[in-house]
Chains A and B, each alone.
Chain A
Amino acid sequence: MFKVSFSKQGGFCDKISRRNVLTLGATGLLGGLSLPSMLQMQAVAASAKPARVKSCIFLMLEGGPSHIDMWDLKPNAPSEIRGPFSPISTNVPGTQISEILPMCSKIVDQFTILRSHSHGDNAHQTGRHWVMTGYKPNFPDGQAKGVPFNEHYPSIGSIVSRELGHRGAVPPYIEVPEPLGPGGPGFYGPRYAPFTIETDPVEPTFAVRDLNVVEGIDENRFERRKTLLERANALGAGGGGVGRAKTMDTYYEKALEMVTSPAARRAFNIQGEKSAVRERYGMTSIGQCSLLSRRLVEAGSRFIGVSHGSWDTHFDNFTGHRKALVPPTDQAFSALIEDLDQRGMLDETLVVMMGEMGRTPRINKDAGRDHWSMCQSVILAGGGIKRGAVIGASDDTASYPTTTPYGVQDLLYTILDLMGINPAKIYPDSLGRPVPLVTGGKRIDEIIA
């Protein structure tokens, strides 16, 4: 794995010094890293760009939400395509979305609907890998069972975590309420892995693993232990701390801060939130995960990945969307945007909501819709994104974009760019091959305010 030592020149996590970047090439993994790319890395490291966007909340609707039933309705399409939902007007004149999104329809002036996302990978695992990492996986769909399953390429969350690092007492990259399949750090290694909260904040017993000191250890006793540990470390070997041991010391400091700092504890203590606020988000998984995300952004987290599913409606697509899937999502998303806006956090926080694909325009024999990746709608809000815009358009059946199609790499490029991260930055993988944060892709200027 990489050895980016926190030496004199380096800061904590977010600032990699020039020598450290070069060390990447040498200690682990020289092979394949050409000089120009080293220099590129060097130059990139030297030019960290301050950005307005400090955090990203990524709502992953796993399984693939139906764009044609939610954001991109085709009321004039034949009945075997258009489905039973009617478009309704929104608070932006001329923009219509589905009647099953009443709450979002009142705040369309706050976000952008990108209707021309298209990528062509029609399977769940491989599609999600593609969406979350920007690289095609090297396994066939259904073959990856591990969590996380992106074994080689880092997820967008790990990239953000590596580039931006800590901003407060909470970890930079958090996943809730379960690990995202391809949310792992890939060849970046465990240091950039998400901190996964594997319980659902909607549960009354919600508690973050290892965060609360166990029963019987009250604050005073934990404080005594902490002091004892400091003294024991000072007396024991490696007092000054070198190499990895020193890094571990730093992580202990961070971990202790998480356990003991009021800010971190407050952030995770969703039970302490006003019940009116909790109910505004909805007492649902996605509702409470969204609320927790907002709290974590406040506490300084950089990237929060929320998974919500399953949107894979091969059967009874319409009942599924109307009853189980869309209402909590409608409520949660609208509450999140409103809340961020009211708190003055929306400009600094980028919110992205999407699935790994859309759903087939043609309704199948089970009243379901199947996998469709050639066209889907992505919802973006906050940090530098236009408010109240509809960007891109699809054809009469919502099958293909009729405007410039934007792909996975364009989207990841845009997210990183908005966060002040150079998407062309390169790290060598374990074989020494240069892997850019995003290969190719362009900034989607149309969605940027």
Chain B
Amino acid sequence: MSPWAGDISYNRSMSQPRVLLITTLLAIVLLPWTVVAVPMISPVEVALVGPESTQQLVVTQETENGLSDLTHEAKYRSKNEAVAIVNEQGIVRPVGEGITEVRVSSSVGTKNIPVRVQGLQNPKPISFRRDIQPILTKAACNSGGCHGKADGQNGFKLSLFGFDDEFDFAAVVKAARGRRVNISAPDRSLFLRKATGDLPHGGGRKIETSGLWYARILRWLREGAKLDEPNELDTVRLEIYPAAASMRHDSGQQLQVFAVDSDGTRRCVTREAEFISNATDVAEVDSSGLVQVSTVPGEAAILARYRGVVSVARVRLPQGGNVARPVLTHPIDVLVWDRFSLLGIRPSELVDDADFLRRVYLDSIGTLPTVEEARAFLSNRALDKREKLIDDLLRRSEYADFWAMKWADILRVDRERIQSNGTIAMTRWLRYQFANNRPYDEFVTAVITAVGSTVSESPAAFYVVHNDAEKMARSISQAFLGVRIECAQCHHHPFEKWGQHDYFAFAGFFTGVKQKKMGAQAQKILDGPGQDLAHPRTQQIVPAAGLGAGPAMIGEDVSRRTVLAAWMTKTTNPFLARMLVNRLWAHYFGRGLADPIDDMRSTNPASNEPLLNMLADRFIENGFDVKKITKFILTSRVYQLSSDVNQSNELDEQNFSHARWKAMSAEVLLDAISQATGISESFNGWPEGYRAIQVWDNRMPNYFFRIFGKPRRVSVCECERGTEPSIAQALHLMNAPETMSKLRSRFGAVRRLVESNLSESEIVDELYLSTLSRFPTTDERELMVGVFDDPVSSRQTAVEDILWTLINTREFVFNH
């Protein structure tokens, strides 16, 4: 049986063999002397209603380090198997109405759990919506790879994730002339025989004939395969037990999920719920709800989903050991060290001046420090020199170039769609915003409400790149709010509360946008009145509304986008500030507090929620001042940690206990090579002297850009920028004729050093400073000076070879 084949099978003969029973009894006799604790069992009593109901038991023991799960080592025995039976996994199933007990024996003691079984003789009719659909979801029948995809599978199409009960009911019962169900011989129904693999089924066996899912579907067919009325018994919330667990490494924890229906019914749906971990390096979860943690310290949110309702359990994996806490004055550090203490992670040391210098230059202005800048900083003895440097960098013109480029990627400033003039205009506008540190709320308002010509300096071209209301809504939501509302276009968002209603409500803000052609290269963006959109399934008009907000009040004399901008930039907006600070954090640390950055949701919490909240609050309090919050981040100790790891933090990915090795973007790397060799890049058809971070043309044919992954700007996701290495990159760095000619140029750094009267040792210093922003170590100096001694090298070839080598070191190619 494949691991996801769904239903569980029960077998009466599976109950404990005699030998085991004796062992258990012996253990019970012996244990009271060694252990005082008794197992904690959830729930304290079991109520099973209906023939196909189940109850997952969870058995835990409280220890000093939190809960310890005993569910899968405990032994279970039903006192009356005519009423209920229980299997090895601790799942109780009804047999006959009545009352009995399940005896749970574990290494820490024994407990009896009362069990009441009802609703077997006159069971409630099966509800297609409540009882059948979750099976189709859990068995993955309606997943995107199977019958849920747009054109179904082999003529049988279900709605993706089962978001459309009516459609799915019709697909099962009515479509294909009703051949999938056989009311007169329900067990001969194609629907069942395919699912059980009785008839050839591309998806294999999904449901076991001995299981309860089979029994439930069969009963539904026997009852006439009906569709019940909507909303009768909606599930309103899920309760997970345990909701939070601190675990030991390499251990497991069984979860238990209850669905609470609108009528107050509370029932175990562990078997029907789906589980997903947001941090699989820390914890994985299987389809039965068993969480398994690894050895990587951190936290994972385990999402449970059932009938479109989601909830999470937090699993924490600390590692032992006390963490020394330095004197922390920076508010960021206080919250970061809270995590280190909690998880037992010893962070890396403070980074040295040279590495800090190189890192903060590359991160904040996308530019390498020059030899002179490096010398000045390294010889500076002032205690506040790092802070001063940060101030200086944020004032540099490269700051504006670099951040304009980054935002041009995010906002998709694409020459393919808005021509050269539009691209230049919008890039200039962006550059101006960052040069002048325009408050972010104003910046966002300007983008959201842009009107006018696409060739004047403005963000109006955004509305040419995104040429319909839905596209605008999707990009704005993802880029500024961190919500992938796109998922809710066709179906309920699988991991969030968002549904199609929310999607079309949000898109309704953009229905007024009009485009007017002005000559060959320009368009004008205007605002018409617009209208609310209709829900595609129900055809009901959905009033425009912010995400999670009530219907917007749209007056006669204001544009819809103005109303949206006001909602987005209100200081109480729950998304905007969090998204921006998380984006900045991800930029400077190589990973967001919430990750990925444009998928922020309650079910994908930040690895340090207090920190994300504090940063967002502070950003708002400071009037959405981007440079101020940037400086706040860069002056923290956590930003200034070394990338050298220790035994305690080498596996840590989510708590920022060491700096990451970040790929340099294509433009930054190209500029770095140009600067180190002293020869600027010549871009085909462009005047000399442009730096790659200033190139506005995202479609410029350039081999370097292509292989190093400069984004084409087809998506607002920063993930579009390739950060993965490739062979072509390595080959190009080693052998590109362009680099060779830079090394050999009569006007370049190599020639200048060769012709200078610097000693060999001084030349090596210069080369290290110009590439790695640091002086060589004694060993390195010795190695490189040795190149000059090579009988076949001239001074020229020696300097060429040393610079070639440094440009190809991993320390050069990465920002660390």
Tell me the A residues contacting B by CB distance below 8 Å: 1-2, 19, 22-23, 25-40, 42-43, 145-147, 151-152, 171, 189-191, 193, 195, 209-214, 217, 220-221, 224-225, 228-229, 231-233, 235-238, 241-245, 247-249, 251-252, 254-256, 258-259, 424, 426, 430-434, 436, 439-440
Contact = CB atoms under 8 A, between A and B. Distances in A.
6 contacts: A22-B277, A189-B724, A195-B727, A210-B734, A238-B810, A248-B725
A258 B725 contact: no
Nearest to A149: B712
Contacts of A151: 712, 714
Contacts of B719: 1, 28-29, 430
B709 A40 contact: no
B787 A34 contact: no
A233 B735 contact: no
A125 to B, nearest CB: 13
Contact of A245 (B484, B777, B816): B816
Given A36-B140, A238-B814, A23 B281 contact: yes
Given A25-B276, A233-B809, 8 more contacts: A19-B284, A30-B596, A40-B145, A43-B2, A190-B726, A232-B784, A237-B644, A242-B643
Given A232-B805, A243-B660, A39 B3 contact: yes
B805 A228 contact: yes
Interface string B2-46: 111000000000000000000000000000000000000000000
Interface residues of B, number: 97
B804 A190 contact: no
Contacts of B813: 245, 248
A146 B712 contact: yes
B783 interface: yes
Nearest to B722: A190
A151 B727 CA distance: 21
Contact of B599 (A22, A152, A171, A432): A432
| Residue among B287, B494, B726 facing the most chain A CB atoms (10 A cut-off) | B726
Nearest to A230: B805
B816 A237 contact: yes
B714 A221 contact: no
B789 interface: no
A53 B737 CA distance: 37
Which are the 7 A-B pairs with shortest beta-carbon distances?
A36-B140, A255-B730, A190-B722, A210-B731, A191-B724, A248-B725, A245-B661
Given A37-B145, A244-B723, A251-B729, A259 B735 contact: yes
Contacts of B153: 440
A225 B804 contact: yes
Contacts, number: 256
Contact of B707 (A25, A193, A242): A193
Contact of B724 (A1, A29, A146, A152): A1
A244 B735 contact: no
B284 A22 contact: yes
Interface string B776-816: 01011001100100101000010001101110111101101
B278 A26 contact: yes
A34 B144 contact: yes
Contact of B276 (A2, A38, A211, A229): A38
Contact of B737 (A190, A214, A231, A436): A214
B355 A237 contact: yes
Nearest to B737: A214
Contacts of B809: 229, 232-233, 236
A96 to B, nearest CB: 36
Contact of A26 (B274, B281, B787): B281
Nearest to B596: A28
B661 A434 contact: no
A36 B4 contact: yes
| Residue among A2, A25, A27 facing the most chain B CB atoms (10 A cut-off) | A27
B281 A232 contact: no
Interface in B703-749: 703, 706-709, 712, 714-715, 717, 719-732, 734-737, 740
Nearest to A238: B810
| Residue among A36, A147, A190, A254 facing the most chain B CB atoms (10 A cut-off) | A36
B604 interface: yes
A235 B783 contact: yes
B234 interface: no
Contacts of A214: 735, 737, 740
Nearest to B601: A31
Interface string B226-259: 0000000000000000000000000000000000
B143 A237 contact: no
Contacts of A191: 722, 724-726
| Residue among A35, A152, A231, A243 facing the most chain B CB atoms (10 A cut-off) | A35
A83 B790 CA distance: 72
B783 A231 contact: yes
B416 A255 contact: no
B151 A440 contact: yes
A440 B151 CA distance: 9
B728 A195 contact: yes
A152 B717 CA distance: 12
Given A32-B494, A236-B809, A251-B726, A434 B145 contact: yes
B279 interface: yes
B495 interface: yes
A36 B661 contact: no
Nearest to A194: B728
B131 interface: no
A40 B206 CA distance: 13
Nearest to B141: A36
B780 A232 contact: yes
A244 B724 contact: yes
A358 to B, nearest CB: 24
B339 to A, nearest CB: 19
A302 B777 CA distance: 44
A259 B731 contact: yes
B416 A145 contact: yes
A259 B717 CA distance: 36
B487 interface: yes
A244 B591 CA distance: 13
B599 A210 contact: no
Contacts of B729: 190, 248, 251
Interface string B442-458: 00000000000000000
A431 B484 contact: yes
Contacts of A26: 277-281
B801 A225 contact: yes
Interface in B749-791: 772, 777, 779-780, 783-784, 787, 790
Interface string B634-671: 00000000011100001000000000111100000000
A297 to B, nearest CB: 18
| Residue among B4, B286, B779 facing the most chain A CB atoms (10 A cut-off) | B4
B335 to A, nearest CB: 23
B486 interface: yes
A445 to B, nearest CB: 15
Contacts of A440: 149, 151, 153
A43 B3 contact: yes
B727 A31 contact: no
Nearest to A435: B144
Nearest to A434: B144
B753 to A, nearest CB: 17
Contact of B144 (A37, A210, A231, A248): A37
B595 A27 contact: yes
Contact of B275 (A23, A35, A43, A238): A35
B325 interface: no
A237 B643 contact: yes
| Residue among B143, B153, B734 facing the most chain A CB atoms (10 A cut-off) | B734
A145 B277 CA distance: 40
Contacts of B736: 210
A119 B704 CA distance: 36
A31 B730 contact: no
B463 interface: no
B340 interface: no
Given A145-B416, A236-B772, A242-B645, A251 B604 contact: no
